[in-house]
Homo-oligomer: A and B are copies of this chain.
C-alpha cells in the first residue's frame, strides 16, 4: 500500500546527526538513553531534532532491535459496547507504556480470527489479547510458535494458551439464577445467545442448569431460549416463553441487550415488571440504570479486564520470564434493582 512519503524524503536520524555535528548513535542515545549523554550533547541533539522536524521511525527501530511496540486485540464485534469497554481499558494502559493498539473484529468467526492472528503476527505484534478461549488448531499453534505473550478474555479458559483474564460465565449465570430463586421466583426462564459457536453462551447455559440442579429443580426446555442478539429478540423471547410456559415468573436474559428489549415490550403491553414478570439482565449497560423500572443485572468487570490484560502483557514483556500459564478471575457482582 501507500508510500509513506509520496511528497519527499523523511528526515532520518542521520540527517539530525549531521545537522548537529555528532554521530548517528549519539542521536539514537539522546532519544532512547538520554542518561548516557552529557547534558550539553543531549540538549544540542534534542534541539536539533525539533529544529529539523525529525520523526523517529519505529518500524526501522523495531526491525533493528527485534522488538515491537504494538499489541493486537481481536474482539467479536467492534460495535458492541461490551467489548469497547475492554478495548478502552486495554488502550489506556498500553498508551501509558508507549505501546500502540492494533484492533480488529472477528465477527464471532473462528476462521476470521485465525486470519487476523496471521495478519497480526506478520505485523510482529509484541502481544495479543483475544476475546475468545476457543481457536482453530492452526491459530493456537501459530500463537504458540510465535512465542509472544497472549491473554485470552471473555471467559475463564480452562487451559489458557498463555494467560487468561476474565470472569466466569458459568459462575455468573449460576449465581444469578440462584439469586432469583432466593428472591422467591419459582419458575425461572433463561434466554441466551445462540450457543453454537459461542462458548460464552454455552457456559452461561451450563451455569443456569447447574443452579437448577443445586436447587433440586427439574430442567424444563420450555423455559430456555437461544436467540440472536438485539432488542427485538429479547422482546420475542419473553412473549413466546410466557405463552408456552405461563407459569414462568422471572426471566434471566443472559446476553447483550435482550433484557432491555424485553422490558420495552413489557412497557408496550402494560405488563407490570416485576409483578407480572421479573426481568434480570447480564451486563450492567448504562441504560439499565435508567429504565423504568431499573433492571437487576450482573456487573462484569469489562473495563478492568482490558486494563489487566494489558498489564499482564506489559509485565510479561518486561521480565522475559517463561510463559507460566496464569489465570486471573476478576469476578462479578449482582446488582439488585426494581425489576426483580
Give chain B nearest CB distance to A91 CB in angstroms.
6
Q: Mark A121-147, 1 if CB is under 8 A from B, else 0.
A: 111101100000000000000100111
A22-30, A51-59, A153-161: which lies at the interface: A51-59
Contact A119 B100 (CB under 8 A): yes
Task: Say whether A15 faces chain B, with CB atoms less than 8 Å apart.
Answer: no
- In the complex, the count of this chain's copies comes to 2
Interface centre among A3, A67, A320, A323 (most CB of B within 10 A): A3
Chain B hits for A69, CB < 8 A: 1
Contact B78 A105 (CB under 8 A): no
Contact B292 A99 (CB under 8 A): no
Chain B hits for A84, CB < 8 A: 78-79, 81, 84
Give complex CA distance A260, B286 in Å.
Answer: 11
Task: Say whether A295 faces chain B, with CB atoms less than 8 Å apart.
Answer: no
Task: Say whether A19 faces chain B, with CB atoms less than 8 Å apart.
Answer: no
Contact B88 A78 (CB under 8 A): yes
Contact A101 B100 (CB under 8 A): no
Task: Say whether A97 faces chain B, with CB atoms less than 8 Å apart.
Answer: yes
Give chain B nearest CB distance to A123 CB in angstroms.
5
A169-177, A207-215, A261-269: which lies at the interface: A261-269
Give chain B nearest CB distance to A99 CB in angstroms.
6
Residues of A192-241 contacting chain B, CB below 8 A: 231-232, 235
Task: Say whether A103 faces chain B, with CB atoms less than 8 Å apart.
Answer: yes
Q: How many A residues touch B, CB cutoff 8 Å?
A: 79
Task: Say whether A38 faces chain B, with CB atoms less than 8 Å apart.
Answer: no
Chain B hits for A235, CB < 8 A: 290
Contact B81 A314 (CB under 8 A): no
Contact of A1 among B287, B292, B317 (CB under 8 A): B317
Q: Given A102-B101, A102-B102, verify A123-B70 contact (CB < 8 Å).
A: yes
Q: Given A60-B63, A147-B6, A231-B290, verify A1-B126 contact (CB < 8 Å).
A: yes
Give chain B nearest CB distance to A81 CB in angstroms.
5
Task: Say whether A8 faces chain B, with CB atoms less than 8 Å apart.
Answer: yes
Contact of A91 among B2, B67, B103, B267 (CB under 8 A): B103
Q: Given A88-B79, A260-B287, A268-B292, verify A124-B58 contact (CB < 8 Å).
A: yes
Interface residues of A (CB under 8 A from B): 1-8, 10, 53, 55-60, 62-63, 66-70, 77-79, 81, 84-85, 87-88, 91, 95, 97-105, 118-124, 126-127, 142, 145-149, 231-232, 235, 257, 260-261, 264, 267-268, 286-287, 289-292, 313-314, 316-318, 320, 323
A–B complex contacts, Cβ < 8 Å, 25 sampled: A1-B126, A2-B67, A2-B68, A2-B126, A2-B127, A2-B148, A2-B313, A3-B66, A3-B126, A4-B66, A5-B66, A7-B323, A56-B122, A59-B68, A63-B63, A70-B123, A78-B84, A79-B81, A84-B84, A88-B105, A100-B102, A101-B102, A231-B290, A264-B291, A267-B292
